[in-house]
Structure 1
Amino acid sequence: MKKILAHTMMFLTIAGQSFSQNNENTTKMNTAPNHYTFQLSDKVTRQKVHFKNRYGITLVGDLYLPQNQHQLLSALAVSGPFGAVKEQSSGLYAQTMAERGFVTLAFDPSYTGESGGEPRNVASPDINTEDFSAAVDFLGLQKNIDRNKIGIIGICGFAGFALNATAIDKRIKAVATTSMYDMTRLMSRGYNDVVTAEQRTQNLEHLAQQRWKDAENQSFAPSSNNLPEKLTGNEPQFVKDYFDYYKTPRGFHVRSINSNASWTATNPMSFMNMPILTYMKEISPRPMFVIAGENAHSRYFSEDAYKAAAEPKELMIIPDAVHVDLYDRMDKIPFNKLVMFFNSNLK
């Protein structure tokens, strides 16, 4: 039990904070702000766009357009993982789906990346859900898009927000998720729900004391980080997997919180009492497609979301895949299946 709890606390640190900087890797990584972790395809064009959400926050995204478009097209909004930016996984998804004929929008959530919002590096179950609806607003106003054929893809922590947005926003006609987390469940209960009521109270007491410090200093302290400057080899496998993506040239981006910054210390507060998947059944009759890795530590989030939803729904488990494999491993991400899902349901 102690071992499980220790891993839970480390998991919460990763989900709510950031990875330590690996000095050995830093010199090898591209730190240019305009860097993408994938090459631009010659089958699409990419343009930077700006739009506002319902709270007046300006969001910044990359709009991917397929070549030789001659009719109204279906569209997809994509975001995630939690703490990532559009130049990472969400951009790769958007580009790949644009190659297959969709207009796609990968966007930075509020308070992160190039998007607006102050203070920086905070998250909100409400506002991040709204970010998806704002992306739908933008897509539905484009002259080359059929606003009745808009879907969304959520990755990692933004998969939970994508499901919540779909339940609320009936304009979203289909939703797919990969490597899903329910961030509200994670932060309130811990990994595998092992946080006790007493431990939850202690966490809330700690957050309350941090609020006093922030108020006194008139600034928002970054999260403390108990991860080492570099891996020792004794970390849980999922920590090594995250490190391999965010802290190496494979997935590093200078604007990514998980790569190069930290969430604010009080960031978990807005998540602790907000079960965002309460109304999963209200996604129906619109279809839901949930994808998870066979060996992902987060697999249970996807399976539980699938069980909670009404038909039509589909769960796909990717053999021999871990959580971060579905960030960028082209041989693991079932893009052909995603294309079939959205082509069948955006009509």
Structure 2
Amino acid sequence: MKIAVTLLVLSFLFSDRTSAQHVQSNQNLKPMNSSSDHYTFQLSDKVTRKKVSFKNRYGITLSGDLYIPKNTDNKVLSALAISGPFGAVKEQSSGLYANQMAERGFIALAFDPSYTGESSGSPRNVASPDINTEDFSAAVDFLGLQKNIDRSKIGIIGICGFAGFALNATAVDKRIKAVATTSMYDMTRVMSKGYNDVITAAQRTQTLEQLGLQRWKDAESRSYASSTNNLPEKLTGSEPQFVREYFDYYKTARGFHPRSINSNASWTGTSPLSFMNMPILSYIKEIAPRPMLIIAGENAHSRYFSEDAYKAATEPKELMIIPNAVHVDLYDQFDKIPFDKLTAFFIANLK
């Protein structure tokens, strides 16, 4: 049963299976334009939002939304960079978080990771532990250049898979003064070892062989095959609970967005390669003495990632378990996301 669940988790995150109808030409893989400003949440009347862009050190232009508290024109404020979940866009959870944190007095930047959403990068829908970690540092670059932001008071929030990247970025980028995560996934761990670490050496070898074969196909066709769709278009009732929870967010009016990979697309088939031998939390102890706040749902299938990261880290650190919450509750459920706790954490530590 554990192996079956593992394969389902991995097929949602990345599938190494490819299909001919999903093969796309590299020349045609461009960011979707923003013909409509669809957000999955309501903008606070206490906050202004403006589109911004900035480059990371790989030359990729990242697209973001900057949320600014109203009536603070003459003030220099603390700031937060926010991204995630993995496969989502800034009009979903990260924007919701930024909106709420701006309402509470922070300037907050929600951004689309490289190769996704309105950010640049070709081919589309590629993930990389290195580049996605760099995306957070590029966001810090941008925030630190704004005249209304104190560059000595910048923190970050990572959601789901971008929680792991946020911890990795904080370990290497000493400009980040505090980090918080919600519904954390360690993407390199789950890709290389499977859900609950049940993938055997033989299964790992088989996966790598399949990915190698796909590289030959991509090289021959001069294009990049996409993985099979992450989520089904309809539920049959036989899916595991976590799949139903993801579906309820990404495939319904609650959280659907046309630019979200999890809502409306799929990852490039060979994306798992960069995750297979690059553990992102190797230096988590180097976050100290800067503080971290790790938040997870009591009933989240991903809870063990947060608990293990907490155990591996050194003080100052805090683990907060939200009663009766599942993984996706921390995407958008206001009665479950502890915004007051996040506010108190960053007020205390961005000083």
2:55 corresponds to 1:52: yes
2:90 corresponds to 1:86: yes
Residue 68 of structure 2 corresponds to: 65
| TM-score for both structures, normalised by structure 1 | 0.94
Write the distance in 2 (CA, Å) between the matches of 1:277 and 1:345. 22
> What are the ranges of 5 or more consecutive residues in structure 1 without an aligned counterpart?
19-30
> What are the ranges of 5 or more consecutive residues in structure 2 without an aligned counterpart?
17-33
Write the distance in 1 (CA, Å) between the matches of 2:313 and 2:150. 27
Give the CA deviation at 1:230: 1.1
**Where do residues 95-134 of structure 1 align in structure 2 (5 Å cutoff)?**
95-134=99-138
Write the distance in 1 (CA, Å) between the matches of 2:234 and 2:61. 36
1:138-189 CA distance string (max 9 Å, x none): 0000000000000000000000000000000000000000000000001000
**Which of the residues 251, 256, 261 maps onto 2:255?**
251
2:13 corresponds to 1:15: yes
Letter paired with 1:315: L
Write the distance in 2 (CA, Å) between the matches of 1:289 and 1:11. 25
**Cα 1:156–1:226, aligned 2, differ >3 Å: closer, same or farther?**
closer
**Which of the residues 163, 168, 182 maps onto 1:178?**
182
1:213-258 CA distance string (max 9 Å, x none): 1111110001024864311111110000000000000000000000
Checking the alignment, whether the CA contact within 8 Å between 2:233 and 2:251 is kept in structure 1 is no
Letter paired with 1:205: E
Residue 24 of structure 2 corresponds to: none
**Which of the residues 280, 297, 303 maps onto 1:299?**
303
**Where do residues 207-222 of structure 1 align in structure 2 (5 Å cutoff)?**
207-222=211-226
**Which of the residues 291, 309, 315 maps onto 1:311?**
315
Write the distance in 1 (CA, Å) between the matches of 2:50 and 2:39. 13
In structure 1, the residue corresponding to 2:37 is in which secondary structure?
A: coil
**Where do residues 206-285 of structure 1 align in structure 2 (5 Å cutoff)?**
206-225=210-229, 228-285=232-289
Residue 42 of structure 2 corresponds to: 39
In structure 2, the residue corresponding to 1:198 is in which secondary structure?
A: helix
Residue 143 of structure 1 corresponds to: 147
In structure 1, the residue corresponding to 2:177 is in which secondary structure?
A: coil
Residue 22 of structure 2 corresponds to: none
Write the distance in 2 (CA, Å) between the matches of 1:39 and 1:206. 44
RMSD: 1.3
Checking the alignment, whether the CA contact within 8 Å between 1:78 and 1:94 is kept in structure 2 is yes
**Cα 1:327–1:11, aligned 2, differ >3 Å: closer, same or farther?**
same
2:153 corresponds to 1:155: no
1:13-39 CA distance string (max 9 Å, x none): 111159xxxxxxxxxxxx964200001
Write the distance in 2 (CA, Å) between the matches of 1:253 and 1:302. 27
**Cα 1:241–1:147, aligned 2, differ >3 Å: closer, same or farther?**
same
| TM-score for both structures, normalised by structure 2 | 0.93
Checking the alignment, whether the CA contact within 8 Å between 1:86 and 1:107 is kept in structure 2 is yes
2:3 corresponds to 1:5: yes
Write the distance in 1 (CA, Å) between the matches of 2:274 and 2:191. 10
1:176-211 CA distance string (max 9 Å, x none): 000000000010001000000000000001100111
Checking the alignment, whether the CA contact within 8 Å between 2:285 and 2:312 is kept in structure 1 is yes
Letter paired with 2:156: I
Checking the alignment, whether the CA contact within 8 Å between 1:33 and 1:255 is kept in structure 2 is no
Residue 326 of structure 2 corresponds to: 322
How many residue pairs match? The answer is 333
